[in-house]
Amino acid sequence: MKLTAWNKKDIVKVAITYVVNAVILFLMFVAMAAVNGVSQGHTVEEQVAPAAFFDFAILLLILIAVTFMYFFFENRNFLRNAANSEMLFLIIEFGVIISYASGTYINPYIRPVALVAILTLFLSGSGDSVFMNFIFVMIMFLFDSFSGNISEYTDFSTVFFVAMGLASGIIASYTMKGLYSRLKIMLMSFLASLPALMCIALPMVEFGDGNFIANLVSGALSGPFATAVFIILLPVFEGIFKKVTCFKLAELTDHKAKLIKKLITKAPGTFNHSIVVSNIAEACATAIGEDALLARTCAYYHDIGKLRRPEFFKENQADDNNPHNDLTPELSANIIKSHTQDGYALALKNGLPKDIADVSLQHHGTMPILFFYDKAKKFTDGEVPLTNYCYSGPKPQSKIAAIIMIADGSEAATRTLKDRTRENVTKAVKKIVSDRMQLGQFDECEITLKELNIIIHTVVNSLSGVYHSRIEYPKVSLEGLDIDEDKDER
């Protein structure tokens, strides 16, 4: 990931987010102490000593500072966008409220302790998920210990809540990673209930009214409860914070998605090309450790700009019908190169995530359209400025945009090869990459030479599978019939 520079505005916004959420969490603590006090016939002062407020505030600030440090050293670009921090704080605040309410009014064992881990996993990734689960469990421990949530629990039991929360969240983070099906996530959530069930069996841990069956059922349901709340809250977070989750990507790659349906009917050649590019891009992303589903989705939408004038693109033309025959080379080039900007505008207009719109804009970088440049040179006596025949860019800004650029070019180049032996495909793919390197197309993303070599190897493997050489079958004569088996496509 490319590191972008911070400006004063970013710093102020992030600082405000951290301060505001520290205050919100402190006020939540005061409210919780008041509610607990009322239910036990105490005032807030009787419920929580003034010194305890101070202790709570200091410990809370330590945890918030640790959160800041984690993102500062692990993912500065993520931290730079204050909305990301706001999202994580909101997840913790939801986690605290739901855990408090369900633990107090239903059963202590039903607390959806894995909720923060699951939400963070799908909105921000597995590393952040494990860390945020730790922060949430520690904050919940402070709330329990200082606000009187545990007045009827022993201190010893509260420590078990920490162990249970950590274990449950870590189990959820690792077992749900990479799952796209809500049903599978729900089934896995029972594993996240195991720590709660184990705590019920411990003789020193006493929560609630001691009803073993009620505790057992509540403990067993804590994981599914967390997942149910996650399923309800996820679309809210996706909408507010414009996050691209695997669920959103799975929706977008459905052939019934609005723009995909348009592509199938209006530009079937482009649709087929995009499918092949998506398979190659997915394999490449997997090979270099990038998000495979995001790469696949970007490939589906990389050429949607062609929907504006599909008949001007080779893959949608009937053999004898090329509208470019009636145009000047410059006008042809303008139509061809505009598909990147048209795609970007169409993607944003249809509410597609910015990451996908960006790839549509960047997938040709600033490459020249040599076919029409050569044609123009033949018709013009003077100099033909190359810049008029180049895509307007920008160059790929991410590794996934670079992957789509290579997969796109390689698919088109291989399609036109007469002899698609592995050797020829390898030559064509290497040329696509070296041409783009020479023209500095990968200068603005952080892709390495090692990764480019892995991508070349992966593209060749994928394309050899798609455009494999046909086997020459011998002509076989059957009782006077002359059958040519090579007509069979294999």
Give every CB contact of residue 401 below 8 A, 6+ residues apart in sequence.
298, 358, 359, 362, 363, 445
Rg (CA), the chain: 29
Integer Cα distance of 440 and 456 in angstroms: 17
Among 371, 352, 245, 366, residue whose Cα is nearest residue 302: 352
How far apart, in whole angstroms, are the C-alpha atoms of residue 233 and residue 247? 13
**Residues of span 65-104 touching Fe ion by CB under 5 A:** none
Q: How far is the CB of 278 from Fe ion (least distance, A)?
A: 11
What is the total count of residues that contact Fe ion (CB under 5 A)?
2
Closest CB to Fe ion among residues 128, 303: 303
Nearer to Fe ion, 80 or 399 (CB): 399
DSSP 8-state code for residue 368: B
Residue 270 beta carbon to Fe ion: minimum distance, rounded to whole angstroms: 7
Cβ closer to Fe ion: 18 or 389? 389
Give least dist CB 259 to Fe ion, A: 15
**Under the criterion CB under 5 A, does residue 290 sit at the interface with Fe ion?**
no
User: Using CB under 5 A, which of the segments 164-172, 322-330, 384-392, 401-409 binds Fe ion?
Assistant: 401-409
Nearer to Fe ion, 303 or 444 (CB): 303
- Is residue 358 near Fe ion by the rule CB under 5 A? no
> Could you tell me which stretch among 192-200, 299-307, 328-336, 432-440 binds Fe ion (CB under 5 A)?
299-307
Least distance (Å) from Fe ion to the CB of residue 369? Answer: 11
- Least Å distance between CB 289 and Fe ion? 24
Element of type H or E holding 127: helix 126-147
Of the ranges 175-183, 260-268, 385-393, 400-408, which one interacts with Fe ion (CB under 5 A)?
400-408
Label the pairing between strands 476-478 and 481-483: antiparallel
Task: Tell me how far apart the alpha carbons of residues 32 and 140 are, in angstroms, rounded to a whole number.
Answer: 12
User: Among residues 405 and 445, whose Cβ is nearest to Fe ion?
Assistant: 405
57 or 417: whose CB is closer to Fe ion? 417
Q: Does 303 bind Fe ion (CB under 5 A)?
A: yes
Neighbours of 209 (CB within 10 A): 10
**Closest CB to Fe ion among 330 and 408?**
408
Round to whole Å and give the CA distance between 365 and 392.
Answer: 7
Q: Select from 128, 342, 408, 451 the one that contacts Fe ion (CB under 5 A).
A: 408
Bond before 329 cis per omega within 30 degrees = no
The neighbouring-strand residues paired with 478 are 481
The sign one gets for the Cα dihedral 226, 231, 235, 236 is negative
- Give the residue with the Cβ less far from Fe ion, 122 or 391: 391
Coil, helix or strand at residue 113 = coil
* Residue 104: CB minimum distance to Fe ion, A: 56
Q: What residues line the site for Fe ion (CB under 5 A)?
A: 303, 408
